[in-house]
Structure 1
Amino acid sequence: MNDLLFTLSPLEHPLRFALAFATLVLAYGVFTLVGFGSGLIAGAPLALVMPVARVIPLLAVLDFAGSATRGWQHRQRVAWSAFRRLLPGMLAGQALGVLLLARLPLRATALTLGLFVVWQGLRGLLKRHEPAARPAGPALLHGLIGGIFGGLFGSGGFVYAAWLERSLPSREAFRATQAVIVALSTGWRIVLCAGLGLLDGALLLTALACVPAMLIGVKGGQRIDLRLSRERLFLLLNGLLVASGGGLLLRHLA
């Protein structure tokens, strides 16, 4: 499990692959509904069955495929001015996050990921106590923080979404711009991971085997989009974050 050459094969590790497949279906269902969350939902459970340094590049490949497709479909609604304001910080933050991913010990990275996911879940559950409207804040800082979280933990989309939601009045513009910034950030993360030796042919084969899980999750998310209230959706999302992050912490602290 500490070997960076570890590959999650459905033939060699059928039970682990089944857990990963189910996790990815759920993660990309959430991703379709809210525009982020695949790394937050899938990161901790996947780290139970494969090394963290393999999880982040895997999710980057799958995220890029999903978000690039959505961004292209809705490219005419993208708020390019907001996109350009987030871009410089995101590029710099991703580089720093991936560098930390390649240098930190795997156990320390797993524990940090668990704490991060639990913190995000608790923060989301308590978010209703925050003021309803707040200023968006500096785009450069949000881009930088989102990039670091994306490079290190595989999920910075919630930071971009927080800034875009306060900056763009149109829900359609928010979704389209979020899709493009996530597509670009994951594409940049793929380049950085490949440059640091974190992405190889075996991992690409694992990602290819997981593509059906992503497609099932996206299709499922589209079907329940109009059936689930926003309040219940975020309650489910944050509850899953606390549970998955807590499980990862317990495993690596035991």
Structure 2
Amino acid sequence: MTLSSSLQHLLPFTPLQLLAICAGIVAAYVIFGIAGFGTALVAGPVLAQFVPVATVVPLLALLDFVAAVVNVSRDAGAADRAELRRLVPLMAFGSLVGAALLLLGRPQAMLLALGIFAVAYALYALSGWRPVARLSARVAVPFGFVGGIFSAMFGSGGFIYAIYLAGRIDEKERVRVTQSTLIGLSTLTRALLFLVAGVYADASILALAVLLLPAMLLGTALGRRITLRLSREQFLRVVALAVLCSGAFLIVRYAMA
């Protein structure tokens, strides 16, 4: 079997399908380059049209880990270590629970769950709601645990961590760096869990991750550039509208199946 035919077997996409996947990845990692999270909410609905839903999260776990390393490599020292010590163990435990639910769940039900999750996040982002008072350190328990579950099941607990960190840390830069660090650790945990579970024995996931690596790096770089010209709040509002439409589409698709 030639290299070309091997790749065609592992990645059975038409050029137009591959272009759509790459465009979704670039858009998702533009958002990641700005906000430090959110890739699954944009890339997930796109990937779900072309690959099995159960492979979307493991695929994005690999790409998110590399993107997070790129994001925090320059300023990881600015992360709030006290908050990391609170959240990381809870996040790891939640990831174990979420990974078990993901691997034992029904793909069709996961499709509906991903759509509901995307719509719920978009409505939260568009509402403009933010915690008024400083959150207690004790609420790290539900935020860390639930964030871990969402990270393992849907590929993004980022917005949950963002709510907590915004209510605990005043400096925006410390919030961004701490969140990016959490996402890196979260995706590493998820990738290791999927590795142990044998998910990455499927060579097509690894091949697609390698193929999409340039699109991920391009999106991350563009996100950094856009950050200099557009406020994070303005850009995330536009993104929230796109996520809302994507989530609604998945729910309609589930209802029509």
Give the TM-score of the pair, scaled to structure 2: 0.90
1:178 alignment partner in structure 2 = 179
3-state SS of 2:99 partner:
helix
Alignment of 1:201-220 (within 5 A): 201-220=203-222
Provide the C-alpha distance between the structure 2 equivalents of 1:180 and 1:39, rounded to a whole number of angstroms: 17
**Amino acid aligned to 1:223:** R
3-state SS of 2:200 partner:
coil
**Amino acid aligned to 1:215:** L
Provide the C-alpha distance between the structure 2 equivalents of 1:204 and 1:231, rounded to a whole number of angstroms: 34
Q: Is the 8 A contact 2:21 2:46 kept in 1?
A: yes
1:135 alignment partner in structure 2 = 134
The farther-off stretch of 140-149 and 66-75 is 66-75
Cα drift, residue 8 of structure 1: 6.9
Q: Is the 8 A contact 1:8 1:50 kept in 2?
A: no
Structure 1 position 239 matched with structure 2 position 245? no
Pick aligned residue for 1:251 from 247, 250, 253: 253
Cα drift, residue 213 of structure 1: 0.8
- Residues 1:220 and 1:134: Cα distance change in structure 2 (over 3 Å): same
3-state SS of 1:169 partner:
coil
1:191 alignment partner in structure 2 = 192
Alignment of 1:1-254 (within 5 A): 9=11, 12-126=13-127, 128=128, 130=129, 133-137=132-136, 138-200=139-201, 201-254=203-256
Deviations 1:131-159, CA, capped at 9 Å, x for gaps: 66233241121111110000000010111
3-state SS of 1:228 partner:
coil
- Residues 1:249 and 1:142: Cα distance change in structure 2 (over 3 Å): same
Cα drift, residue 203 of structure 1: 0.8
Cα drift, residue 78 of structure 1: 1.5
Provide the C-alpha distance between the structure 2 equivalents of 1:142 and 1:8, rounded to a whole number of angstroms: 38
Percent of aligned pairs with the same residue? 36
1:3 alignment partner in structure 2 = none
Provide the C-alpha distance between the structure 1 equivalents of 2:120 and 2:218, rounded to a whole number of angstroms: 28
Q: Is the 8 A contact 2:33 2:220 kept in 1?
A: yes
Which ranges in structure 2 are unaligned for 5 or more consecutive residues? 1-8
What's the Cα RMSD here?
1.8
The farther-off stretch of 236-245 and 13-22 is 13-22
Deviations 1:15-42, CA, capped at 9 Å, x for gaps: 3222111001000001111111111111
Q: How many pairs align? A: 246
- Residues 1:231 and 1:157: Cα distance change in structure 2 (over 3 Å): closer
Runs (4+) of structure 1 moved beyond 3 Å?
none
Q: Is the 8 A contact 1:157 1:182 kept in 2?
A: yes
Provide the C-alpha distance between the structure 2 equivalents of 1:99 and 1:73, rounded to a whole number of angstroms: 34
Give the TM-score of the pair, scaled to structure 1: 0.91
**Amino acid aligned to 1:219:** A
Deviations 1:88-129, CA, capped at 9 Å, x for gaps: 110011111111110111111111111111111122212x2x
Provide the C-alpha distance between the structure 2 equivalents of 1:62 and 1:8, rounded to a whole number of angstroms: 18
Q: Is the 8 A contact 1:92 1:144 kept in 2?
A: yes
